[in-house]
Amino acid sequence: MVNIFQPIVDRQKGVLKADSWYRNAIGSIANKIGSRALMRSGKLNVRPSAGRLNFYFYDPKGKKTLPYYDIFPLVLPIDTFRGGFVGLNFHYLPYGLRFKLLQELQRYASNTNFDRTTIINASYNTLKNIGLIKPTIKKYLWKHIRSSFLRIDTDEMAIAVYLPVQQFRKATPQRVWSDSRRKV
């Protein structure tokens, strides 16, 4: 059975990629954020790509009153509103729960190829009964986005959710994840 995690398994002859591989991939993503080649290929956009994960830099409006926030979210957009959008920020979940959420989202894939042609057809209404999404639902305002959006195609999603690139302010990842576990 093909699934969203197949690309990582295939590249390592049936074994999941090691932590060291993920750390090396961080540098690759950082270099790509400003890449002209990405802009030409359509991977770097001024708006988030619907049905796909997106990396970008964000400066929240209410950062003074928020207990903590992520300035480099990894978000699957699920709805829009005047002035912004709602998305699932995977960084608010510890790695194991990110994996489980991605498994749940496979059900909403547009096809079984799990490649760059595949999108996740999910909205808040289709996902609201999945308990794992509760700590990940965040509102993002267009005026507070500080970079282009790096589109993560479906064949790269399993890798992206494991990258340790969350940039929380005012709390450690461990505290954020502990709070999130209580919410699910």
Q: Which residues pair with 120 in a beta bridge?
A: 109
Mean pLDDT, range 154-158, rounded to an integer: 91
- The whole-model pTM stands at 0.82
Q: DSSP for 137-171?
A: EEEEEGGGB-S-EEEE-HHHHHHHHH-----EESS
Residue spans per domain, the chain:
6-183
Q: What does the alpha-carbon distance between residue 165 and residue 167 come to, in Å, rounded to a whole number?
A: 6
Give the pLDDT score at 48. 97
Cβ distance 104 to 149 under 8 Å? no
Instruction: List pLDDT tens digits, range 55-107.
Output: 999 999 999 999 999 999 999 999 999 999 999 999 999 999 999 999 999 99
Percentage of the chain exceeding pLDDT 90: 74
Give the pLDDT score at 39. 46
